[in-house]
Structure 1
Amino acid sequence: MSTIEKTLESIDVLEQLIKDYEIILYNDDVNSFDFVIDALIDVCEHEPLQAEQCTMLVHYKGKCAVKTGSYEELKPKCSKLLELGLSAEIK
């Protein structure tokens, strides 16, 4: 294996190790806009405008990536959103 091939293989392995995940928030017919906005501000540390924009995307598009990071960072945040009655998953 050439040096270039080894280097490219190493880069592929590193990219897999540091891959970011996303919390995907899904639309529902239960929670109000204000509730979802407040949850995003509290749990995902969004600014109010960002939370409002994400909430609008969820409403009109059906889903929105609301937080990006490592799986370990996102797991408790996603769990909190689920505890609040929102529909979310990590992808």
Structure 2
Amino acid sequence: DNYNAINVDRTEQIPMDYTGVMGVPITFLHKYNPRQFEIVDGLNRYTVLDVAGLNDNAVKNHLHMTEIGGKSTYFRVLIKNRKVKK
């Protein structure tokens, strides 16, 4: 809810035609291919790299960056597909 990305609950559900940022489970790292995906950031309570500069707002408003529908979820790795298949 607090980061402009779609959530993907299982690595086998990662869309190959999506051009935006996706939040995937940490288990994705076992299958990570740097030629296929770029790791953008990591989210837990706050962003790991704070690339988007969202941590100050999260701290101020007591937000969890991994909220989906108002409920906190587990750590998410933020990725972008390098080779979008259309």
- TM category (shorter chain) comes to under 0.3
Give the TM-score taking structure 1 as reference length.
0.26
Give the TM-score taking structure 2 as reference length.
0.27
Give the structure with the higher percent strand: 2
Give the structure with the higher percent helix: 1
